[in-house]
């Protein structure tokens, strides 16, 4: 998925070589995505409900030398239009967001409104199939059954996540707005999460091989659904 975001930033730069790409990162927390994007030359607004996460973001941004390119805002997706200009962002991120919001359709609508016509909306969610398989492999069969049987892929009322998704459900949610067209559906953590510890500790050559395999597997439909996370890049219609 890093390649997809890098390609999107490159597309914006090619269209407007004299301007920095404008990114809105909703639920971006301590800056796992925002800081690298700022290092790559983007101006990033991070909207998050946690003041502690935003404080960590500011520290990371200063340490990376990009503090002036990142604006932290405390708030949530339901009030996004109060914090960022409508229809201006070149790239909108909602990573790890749909699993925790009350209304995922409303959250997608808010992300879409923040994006400029023709801009991209990037969404990353927890994969339902991977949650089932990981519990089967760990021998937690009751939990696997619960995730599989629940309409939202939850373990039960105590689950920290409100939902897990499969690819068709995620794409359907984005395209139901009528304003987004899905361009990329891929897995993130397709193979990495299933590697035995002995392989994971195999050194630089093994790490390179895993990265290469991960890139190849990400877009293979049969493998994509067992990814730890599912990534969609959708474009706002009208650009």
- What's the predicted TM-score (pTM) here? 0.92
Interval 191-207: pLDDT, tens: 877 877 777 777 888 88
* pLDDT value for 198: 74
Contacts for 223 with CB less than 8 Å, ≥ 6 apart: 187, 190, 191, 217
Reported as a pLDDT band with limits 50, 70 and 90, residue 19 is very high
Enumerate the domain spans of the chain: 2-127+165-189+228-236
Interval 97-125: pLDDT, tens: 999 999 999 999 999 999 999 999 999 99
Q: Which CATH superfamily is domain 2-127+165-189+228-236 in?
A: Vaccinia Virus protein VP39 (3.40.50.150)
Residues linked to residue 216 through DSSP beta bridges, in sequence order: none
């Amino acid at each position: 998925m890093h390649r997809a975001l890098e390609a999107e930033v490159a597309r914006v730069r090619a269209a407007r070589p004299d301007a920095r790409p404008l990114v809105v990162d909703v639920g971006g927390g301590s800056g796992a995505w925002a800081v690298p994007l700022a290092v790559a030359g983007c101006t990033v607004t991070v909207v998050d409900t946690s003041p502690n996460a935003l404080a960590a973001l500011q520290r990371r941004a200063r340490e990376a030398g990009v503090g002036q390119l990142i604006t932290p805002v405390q708030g949530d997706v339901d009030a996004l239009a109060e914090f960022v200009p409508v229809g201006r962002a070149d790239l909108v991120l909602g990573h790890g967001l749909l699993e925790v919001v009350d209304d995922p359709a409303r959250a997608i609508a808010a992300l879409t409104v923040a994006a400029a016509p023709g801009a991209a909306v990037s969404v990353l969610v927890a994969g339902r199939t991977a949650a089932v398989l990981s519990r089967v492999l760990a021998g937690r069969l009751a939990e696997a059954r619960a995730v599989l049987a629940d309409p939202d892929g939850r373990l039960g009322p105590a689950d920290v996540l409100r939902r897990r998704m499969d690819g068709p459900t995620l794409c359907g949610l984005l395209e139901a707005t009528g304003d987004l067209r899905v361009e990329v559906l891929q897995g993130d953590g397709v193979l990495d999460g299933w590697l035995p510890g002995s392989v994971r500790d195999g050194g630089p050559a093994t790490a390179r091989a895993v990265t290469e395999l991960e890139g190849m597997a990400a877009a293979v439909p049969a493998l994509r659904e067992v990814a730890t996370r599912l990534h969609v890049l959708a474009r706002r219609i009208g650009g």
